[in-house]
Amino acid sequence: MDKERFCKIINELYEGDRLEKKIAAAVRQFNNIVGSDFPEPYGMVISHASLCQELLSEIMCDKHDDIGYFCNELDYGRSYEKGMIVDKQGNEIDLSTAGNLYDFLMYQKNGENEIN
């Protein structure tokens, strides 16, 4: 998979995640206003994000679930802070963007680098 396609998929996953959160907030607000016991909003939204992440991991030979970490823990790179991820040699791994994640996965795929 080329870098442009990879980044496009990651960015679409991000946009889907944001939409799900907006829907969840709207349902919660509705429940609070009318005192409804409408079901939790996440049961209403059908998300394929985890499946897409799994498929991307398989395609990209992501043995350490760096894609899942990037999407879920780093909020698609938005929670990344300089210096928070280093490799075994102490070099910084910048996972602030989907493009950087792609470069890191390609680097890892060639057996050149692993993070601590």
pLDDT in tens, 4-57: 999 999 999 999 888 888 887 887 777 666 665 555 555 555 567 888 999 999
Question: Does the residue 115 lie in any domain?
Answer: no
Q: Please give the Cα distance from 64 to 51 (Å, whole number).
A: 16
For 55-90, write each residue's pLDDT tens digit: 999 999 998 999 999 999 999 999 999 999 998 888
Q: Tokens at residue 36, please? A: 């409804």
Question: What global pTM score does this model have?
Answer: 0.75
- The answer as to whether 31 is a domain residue is yes
CA-to-CA distance for 45 and 34, rounded, in angstroms? 21
Contact 45, 34 (CB under 8 A): no
Residue 81 lies in a domain: yes
Q: Is the per-residue pLDDT at 108 higher than 80?
A: yes
Distance CA 59, CA 106 (A): 11
Overall number of domains in the chain: 1
Cβ-based burial of 45 (10 A; exposed 0-12, middle 13-18, buried ≥19)? middle
User: Is 104 within the bounds of a domain?
Assistant: yes
Assigned domain for 100 exists: yes
Identify whether 116 is part of a domain.
Answer: no
Q: CB-based contacts of 16: which residues, under 8 Å, 6+ apart?
A: 47, 49
On the question of pLDDT at 114 being above 90, the answer is no
Residue 28 pLDDT:
76
Domain that includes residue 49, residue range: 3-109
